[in-house]
Every structure is written in structure tokens, then in C-alpha cells.
Amino acid sequence: MRMSNVFSRTLREAPSGAESAGYGFLLRAGFIQQLGAGIFSLLPLGLRSVRKIERIIREEMDGIGGQELQMPVVNPADIWKETGRYYSIDKEMGRFQDRVGRDMVLAMTHEECVTDIARFELDSYKRLPQLVYQLQTKWRDDPRPRAGLIRVREFTMKDSYSFDRDLAGLEKQYRAHYSAYFRIFDRCALPTIAVGSDSGMMGGKVAHEYMYLSSIGEDTIITCPACGYTANRQVATFTKTSYPEELLKTEAVHTPACPTIEDLANFLGIPKRKTAKALFMMGTFVDSTTGEERQRLILGVVRGDMEIEENKLQNVAKANALRPAHVDEIRLAGMEPGFGSPIGCDPSVLVIVDDSVAKSNNLVAGANKVDYHLINTNFGRDYTGTVADIASAAAGHACPQCQTALEQSKGIEVGNIFQLGTRYSESMGCFFQDEDGTRKPVIMGSYGIGVGRLLACLAEHYNDESGLKLPITSAPYQVHLVSLVKDQEIADGIYEELQAEGIEVLYDDRKESAGVKFADADLIGIPIRITLGNRSLKEGSVEVKLRSNLQETNALPLASLGSQVKELVTSLHKEISARISHRELA
């Protein structure tokens, strides 16, 4: 491709609002252009990179027995009503009516659609197992799109779905995806880790996320440096120390100006673990068959030396959504913000107590009166509620497996795998006749990779102060040919020679200064740069540099340029292939 014909153009500065380096460089290099909040066009350079990523994904999915199909992005709402997700999913789902008034959905994912297909196709055990996948547009009306392609509303996803007759078959397909995903990310040269995760709106009990560790990530990853325990903080656990004592009498004490646990502990001269912390949330509960909503105040109680993990709280409450409760809502239920506790609260309040509180005695809790607390409160004697793990794991907490101090880091989710079980097959009537003649629900799995987000993470990982440095497997072209010679016919001939060797070339044939051409080459970040200069051509050679190491220059003879560049391309691919891991699920 000649740069004089490239549809996009480079920018000297990133537009305002580019929150990360990779996002800024994708904009400046002309890979993407923003149309609206969380909505981006892939320009020719960006689309070429995405197509290369998709090729890797297809090869690995085909390698584990996947068959590619294409499902509609517009779904009749009826199939989503069958599973209850039409009502349970919040405003992220795009809903509309067609011209005759039928409810329709812009698919965020395709469990319902693929199950609808499967219930007509998979009628016998002889038709199982099966694995299908697609690369297709999704829509999620995310309220907080950010960082370019990392968090968007419209995106391309590879989503695959497995169908089995038993759990052993699901486990086999799950393990195959687990390893295939690492091969995909390794071939793209993106370092990732797999972490245990929450299944969220997908359902099922077993799930993993693939994380690219980055300071701009929104997920917090909890890891153990000793035994390798790894989980998203949303579901991570840790070993909690209990402090049982002989129960003492509850007494009210005056605690002026102590609305926080820190203030309270300092005022009373006690450790924070001797206190009980209250979190007030308003939960939204949706009837999965009618869509009727109701609100209920939720009170989470955790020991004062810990924090509440809202995702755990929401899962225990089985709420569709949570928001912080308003002051008047808390007071209406008989409690006082800043000095609240479940003692004496309205029976309608859903009280959820962390097991650290249930196993510790004589804690200081709010008296539901301004400037007053109760000492020696005890779960079971003074109040009741549902006991569960709702505490948030953090660095320094003890590993649940080996007791070593945990560590934490930030990450960006680039893929996920779920064992769905029979959630969708049972609700939608996807049954097969087994060998013994009985009808059984198909066992399902669901597996996704965000293609655009993967490109965005590569841009975050491979850049310097001058621009992108994408790997050979995902860069839009293999070679950037920069011509500084007066005789354009010579440059055109070299361009054609390289193309004849099957090399992907971006040819800068523009009438621009050397400085502009080099700046754009740095910005776009093609792995191999060939510079045609008048002096070197007279000597029968050209300058060749790698974008990953611009300080080192090599001279290649013109006579064998095509074959030697082809060897260089092959060597860059081999470097990545040598790093492909063969990780398996433990």
C-alpha cells in the first residue's frame, strides 16, 4: 500500500480525552477514529491489525474442533424472555421495537440465540459434542466507556459455545479453551494470566478471566507469590482470623464526632478489628418472568479491619443491581448513617453479615443514634442475618491456600471462559435423547475474547515515546518502506519486488521531508523499516532497522533484498512462536 493513497492520516498530537498512551497512539497513527462515546471506526490500518488477530483466533478455534457460524446481532426479545435475562439485565442491553411493535434486542452475547439453534439441531446424543464460534459485533450500552477500544459500547467479540451430553464432556471442552486462549494471546505476543472470576450475568459456577496486567486496568487481581493462587478481587478469598471471647453485656457509649471506623477506634483506643462496619446499599430486584422491579435496603456488616466487596454482597443478596442508599432511605429503616448497625433495624432490611463478624465477639457497632455506639455487640444474640463471605481481599491478607501474604495488581480482561451447565438449555428446552432413551438437558459452555480490546492492550504494551511498536503477528504491515531517493522509479521497483516475494509493505512514496516520514514511521510502528537513500543505493545496499531497536542499523544488499527481508520476517515470527506456552488447567 502506498502511503499517498492511505485513507487515514497521522496526527502530531493526540486529541483531548486520550487517557492512555496506547489509545493516543492508535488515534494518532490513524488506526481508529471515534464516532461517539464508546463507538469507534476501524480505519484501514486498524482493520488490517484486527484481521490478523482474527486469523490467529480462527486457527486456534478450528484447532480444537470449532465450527464458525454467524448469528444475528438483532434478536427477538422472546428468546431472552425465556431465560429471564431480558428483564434481569439492566440498561446495558439495547432494547427496541420493530415496526409492528415486537420487542427486539441488540445482542450483548449470544447464549440465547445459539441455544435456540441447538434445540432444533441437537436432538440425540449422537449429535454431541459440538463446538461453534463466531466473530461478530456486540452492543453493550456501557455507562462509562473509556480508554478507546479498552471499554467501548460497540465491539467485535469472538464468542464460542460448547454442547455436551455430560459434565465430563464440558470439562474437556473447557480445558481445551483454557489452553487455546493462552496460545492465542501468546501468538499475539500479549502477556496474560488466567484468574478465577465471577460468572456474573452469564451464569454457571466455574469461570476464568484472562488478564493483561496494566496500571490502567479497572480489575484488581489478587495473587499469591508462593503457591500461585490467583483470582479477581470480586471473588478472591483469604484466610480470616477469628477472635472468639466470652460474650459481654452490650452498653451504649457516647462517641462524639466518630462517623468513621478510624475515628471510632482512635477514640476508644481499640484495634479496628474490634469494630463492626456497616455498608448501606439499595438493591434492585427484578422478576425474571414479568420484569417487575422492587427495591430493598441491604445492610452489609464486616469487621472494621476489612472492606466489603460489593460484587460478593450483590451475589449473596441475589440483586440485579446495587447503588448506595440515600440518607432518608437509611433513616426510614430505623438506622442512622455514620452510626448505623442492624440492631433494632426494620425487619424489611436484608442484613448480610461477613463470617469474620459472625466468628468474632464483643464488637463495637453503631447505636443508630448520632454520636453513640454500642460496645460488646454480638451476632446471633443482638441481631441476625445471612452469614457469608462478603469481605474484599487485599494485599497483605493471608492466602487461603498457603497463608502467605497476598499481593494485588491491576488488570484488563481480554478473555473469559464459563461453564454454563444447564442454565440456558433447561430454560429454553434444549434437550437431547440419551443412549438409554431418557431426555436430558444439553450441558453448555461459553467462551469470549474481545478482539478490539486485544488490539488496544497490544498498543498499551508495545509503544515508546515516539509511537507504536506492534509485533509482526498483529502489525498492519510487515515492512515500512521509506523512500528518500529522487528517482521514484527505483523505489517503485523495490516496492514491487518486495510485494512479489509475498511481503506486506507500506510504502511511503509521499513528497514529504525525511523528518516527517521518519516521524510517521515511528508512530505507525511497522516491525521492519527499510530506508532508501541516494548514497546507500549508489553503494548497492539499503538501510534496515527494526522498530523495536532503532539504534541498530543493518545494510542489506539490493541484489538479495527480497529474500533477506523474507528471512527477517520469518525470524520475527519464529521469535514469537518460540514463546508460545502450553499451559493447561490444573
In a shared domain, residues 451 and 500: no
- Residue 254 has a CB neighbour count (10 Å cut-off) of 11
More confident residue, 192 or 486: 192
Flag whether 233 is in a domain: no
Residues 182 and 415: their CA atoms lie apart, in Å, by 10
Kindly state the average pLDDT of the residues 503-523: 95
More confident residue, 244 or 526: 526
Tens of pLDDT, residue by residue over 300-336, are 999 999 999 999 999 999 999 999 999 999 999 999 9
Q: Answer whether residue 204 shows pLDDT above 80.
A: no
Flag whether 272 is in a domain: yes
**What percent of the chain shows pLDDT beyond 90?**
86
Residues 383 and 349: their CA atoms lie apart, in Å, by 12
Kindly state the average pLDDT of the residues 219-227: 94
What CA dihedral angle connects 65, 583, 420 and 113, to 10 degrees?
-40
Is 218:147 a contact under the CB 8 Å cutoff?
A: no
Q: Answer whether residue 102 shows pLDDT above 60.
A: yes
Tens of pLDDT, residue by residue over 375-431, are 999 999 999 999 999 999 999 999 999 999 999 999 999 999 999 999 999 999 999
> Which grid coordinates belong to 299?
445492610
Q: Is the peptide bond before 129 cis (omega within 30 degrees of 0)?
A: yes
Please name which of 421, 387, 417 lies closest in space to residue 196, comparing C-alpha atoms: 417
Tens of pLDDT, residue by residue over 425-479, are 999 999 999 999 999 999 999 999 999 999 999 999 999 999 999 999 999 999 9
Tens of pLDDT, residue by residue over 3-60, are 999 999 999 988 887 889 999 999 999 999 999 999 999 999 999 999 999 999 999 9
Domain count, the chain: 3
Flag whether 399 is in a domain: no
Kindly state the average pLDDT of the residues 120-143: 95
Residues 343 and 334: their CA atoms lie apart, in Å, by 9
Kindly state the average pLDDT of the residues 83-88: 92
In a shared domain, residues 186 and 295: no
Flag whether 338 is in a domain: yes
Q: Answer whether residue 248 shows pLDDT above 90.
A: yes
In a shared domain, residues 165 and 260: no
In terms of DSSP bridges, do strands 463-464 and 467-468 run parallel, antiparallel, or are they unpaired?
antiparallel
Name the residue with cell 464508546: 38
DSSP codes of every residue in 482-513: EE--S-HHHHHHHHHHHHHTT--EEEE--S--
In a shared domain, residues 290 and 364: yes
In a shared domain, residues 529 and 560: yes
Flag whether 452 is in a domain: yes
Is 237:231 a contact under the CB 8 Å cutoff?
A: yes
Flag whether 570 is in a domain: yes
User: CB-based burial of residue 317 (10 Å sphere; 0-12 exposed, 13-18 middle, 19+ buried)?
Assistant: buried
In a shared domain, residues 43 and 145: yes
Kindly state the average pLDDT of the residues 133-159: 94
- Residue 33 has a CB neighbour count (10 Å cut-off) of 14
- pLDDT for the residue numbered 199: 61
In a shared domain, residues 267 and 200: no
What residues make up the domain containing 435?
15-68+107-216+410-460
- pLDDT for the residue numbered 28: 96
| pTM for the model | 0.91
Kindly state the average pLDDT of the residues 238-251: 93
- pLDDT for the residue numbered 290: 85
Residues 31 and 48: their CA atoms lie apart, in Å, by 9
In a shared domain, residues 31 and 115: yes
CATH of the domain at 118: 3.30.930.10
Kindly state the average pLDDT of the residues 176-182: 97
Average pLDDT of the chain? 94
Tens of pLDDT, residue by residue over 336-362, are 999 999 999 999 999 999 999 999 999
- Which amino acid appears at position 322 of this protein? L
